[in-house]
Structure 1
Amino acid sequence: MNGTSFDGLTVVTVLYRSAGMLAETLPTWVRSAGDLPVRFVFADNWPADGCADVVAAHLPADRYAHLPDDGNPGFAAGCNRAVETVGTSHVLLLNPDVWLPDDALARICAAAAEDPDTPIAVGLAMHGGEYVGIDLNPVSLFIDRPAAVARAPLGPSGGAAVLPTALYRRFGGFCEHLFAWGEDADLAFRLYAAGLRTRGLDLVLPHAGGHSVDGDDRLQGFRAFLLARNRLLVAARTFTWPLLLVAVPVLALAHVALAARRVRQGLLRPFLRGVGRGLVEGPGARRQWTGRRFGFGSLLRYLTVRRA
């Protein structure tokens, strides 16, 4: 415990091809924020689509910051850049395709004030299921954690995560090289290895999921590439050597099964490119993180300790 106290919440959102979706969801955020000590920061990685106008139409200028970057540095870099500007004790990383019930931000602020040192995974309802945070998986390494799972989350999902601002900064935020899809799992492994546990919040937010890549075959291929590469890089960065030596053959077999799925989806080529890049970049990725790593002891605790 480091004695963090709650003095406000900043909602951090990374935008990419998000204007239409944000026009639907942002009004619910504004209603939920009301008079609470809540601010907003938007890292806009596709400013040409007019998100700035959507934000300005719904929020007063003194309640938000808009950070455009037409170079699209990625979700991870966008979050890091936004958190650098935050002056509140806590941040809520929130995807733009999430709707907030009227009481959502009040409940999130209350939970952060009650236990201000602990990361919080907020639930998301998507694709016909309900999920809270991140879970381990023997095939894909990390997945959205089903809400019914007995054990606590490994860490919060980047789609709806509450973190003490100082903690996020102390751990270096998200690994920017990962770009997207897996950066939250990387942070989750690092937090867990350092003894920091995440608690789930009994709140489920409606989430569209995948709006930034829907209907674009090129972006679907890029996503398949990143997921394949990042699984290997996350393991290389965050696992101890003994666990990594066991995980590598398991991941190799898992990628054979995943390859069959990508064939059916027409995404085998970018998937294989991702596997190749992950193998090449793995040694360098491991050198990037020098803190505590997730090993067999962490794995055993995670699999056996049930949530309170």
Structure 2
Amino acid sequence: MTGTLAVVTVLYRSAPMLAETLPTWVRSAAGLPVRFVFADNWPEDGCEKLIAGCLDDERYTYLPDPANPGFAAGCNRAVAAAGTSHVLLLNPDVWLRDDSLTRIRAAVEAAPGDPIAVGLAMHGGDYTGIDVHPISLFIDRLAGARRGPLGPSGGGAVFPIEVFREFGGFHEHLFAWGEDADLAYRLYAAGRRTRPLDLALEHAGGHSVGGDGKLLGFRAYLLARNRILVAARTFSWPLALLAVPFIALAHCALAARRARQGLLRPFLRGVGTGLREAPAARRQWRGRRFGLGSLVSYLRTGRAA
């Protein structure tokens, strides 16, 4: 096969979960030219020692950053250090089967220039990549859907490194939760199509917040803020204006849910921050934007250029 693959993983309070999943990655990579890059945003929990116990030194790169710059920045840093033609972005709470990396490399060989959405099994369903939603703007795409993915999910994604760099990677200001949708909209608007690979890899989900009230509030804040910023950055003006009532409706419905969860205050703070930052966010992206034509193309087939 042409080129090589690096598995890129961002860690944050991940040691207990990685202790379960990393051995499955090592078995899946046996005999393959696959290396690993770990960006550790919480290096105090022992992941470095765990990784060293599973992988030979020349097989991996470990990048600690106790300042925790976020998932988006961690991914960008790890991709820059990969030194391979392709990267597999893989969350630390995803288990691989013995043939998973062989199948992923075969998909890369079949279409080396395309991003690939890797299927994950989570929350009682199977999902592959990101889908457009009229209210929430982006959701997990059901595996096997007629439309192809808008783009890959950050939890299971293959990118040619040249494509990832061409689009500037993930927008680091988003920090986490929405940075993959931001990139997906930009990719689709520019004519880059994502191929699905319905592997249904077991994905636990949510290990980094794990019942921590402060972190759950931070996630509620980021989700509220980032939904507004993604629309501001990536939508054309006509589509952005059309989306305003839907975004407003979504946030009203979410406000009621967050109130029941005790997370209304960070949610409302996220909405306010998103509205305040939206004009600057729009100026930060000068490439092609996802407009009405892109939306019609996506809704029809999800594959048209």
TM-score, scaled to structure 2: 0.98
Equivalent-residue separation in structure 2 for 1:223 and 1:140 (angstroms): 15
User: Which residue matches 2:135?
Assistant: 139
Give the whole-Å Cα distance in 1 for the aligned partners of 2:302 and 2:165: 28
Q: Give the secondary-structure state (helix, strand or coil) at the position aligned to 2:282.
A: helix
1:75-86 to 2 correspondences below 5 Å: 75-86=71-82
Aligned mate of 1:47, from 22, 43, 46: 43
For the residues of structure 2 that align with 1:235 and 1:179, how far apart are their CA atoms? 16
Question: How far apart, CA to CA, are the structure 2 residues paired with 1:75 and 1:225?
Answer: 15
> Residue 28 in 1 paired to residue 19 in 2?
no
1:237 aligns with 2:233: yes
Separation in 2, partners of 1:50, 1:178: 27
Deviation at 1:137? 1.2
**Counterpart residue number, 2:87:** 91
Answer yes or no: is the 8 Å Cα contact 2:144–2:198 preserved in 1: no
Question: Equivalent residue for 2:8?
Answer: 12
Amino acid at match of 2:294: S
User: How far apart are 1:127 and its partner, in Å?
Assistant: 1.1
Tell me the residue number matched to 1:226.
Answer: 222
Asked if residue 57 in structure 1 is aligned to residue 47 in structure 2, the reply is no
Counterparts of 1:262 and 1:146, CA distance in 2: 25
Is the CA contact (8 Å cut-off) linking 1:150 and 1:307 kept in structure 2? no
Whether 1:182 aligns to 2:178 is: yes
| Greater CA drift, 133-142 or 17-26 | 133-142
| 2:157 aligns with one of 161, 173, 181 | 161
Task: For 2:5 and 2:136, locate their aligned partners in 1 and report how far apart those are by CA, in whole Å.
Answer: 33
SS of 1:303's partner is helix
Contact 1:11 1:38 in 2 (8 A): yes
The reply to whether residue 195 of structure 1 matches residue 191 of structure 2 is yes
Using the TM superposition, give the Cα deviation of residue 202 of structure 1 relative to its aligned residue in structure 2, in angstroms.
2.8
C-alpha displacement at 1:155, in angstroms? 0.2
In structure 1, distance between residues paired with 2:2 and 2:155: 21
* 1:162-188 CA-partner distances (Å, limit 9, x unpaired): 010111011100000000000000000
1:78-123 CA-partner distances (Å, limit 9, x unpaired): 0000111121110000000000000000000011011100110000
Aligned to 1:265: 261
Give the conservation status (yes or no) of the 8 Å contact 1:138–1:254.
no
**Alignment partner, residue 120 of structure 2:** 124
Distance 1:54 1:96 in 2: 13
Match of 1:216 in 2: 212
Shift of residue 149 of structure 1?
2.2
Describe the shift of the 1:241–1:215 C-alpha distance in structure 2 as closer, same or farther (beyond 3 A): same
SS at match of 1:162: strand
| Structure 1: unaligned runs, 5 residues or longer | none
Tell me which amino acid in the other structure corresponds to 2:299. Answer: L
2:118 counterpart SS class: strand
Q: How many angstroms apart in 2 are the aligned matches of 1:276 and 1:194?
A: 30
CA contact (8 A) 2:193 2:303 kept: no
Name 2:103's counterpart in structure 1. 107
Q: Distance in 1 between matches of 2:250 and 2:103?
A: 39
Amino-acid identity (%):
73
> TM-score scaled to structure 1, two decimals?
0.97
- 1:214-238 Cα offsets, whole Å, 9 max, x none, are 1201000000000000000000000
Q: Which amino acid aligns with 1:52?
A: E
Shift of 1:6: 3.5
**CA, structure 1 residues 117+204, in 2 after alignment: closer, same or farther (shift >3 Å)?**
same
- Please state whether the residue corresponding to 1:107 is helix, strand or coil: helix
Q: How far does the alpha carbon of each residue in 1:58-86 deviate from its partner, in whole angstroms, 9 at most, with x for none?
A: 00000000000000000000000011112
Residue by residue over 1:183-202, the C-alpha shift from the partner in whole angstroms, topping out at 9 and shown as x without a partner, is: 00000000000001101013
Cα RMSD, aligned residues only = 1.1
Where 1:180 maps in the other structure, the secondary structure is coil
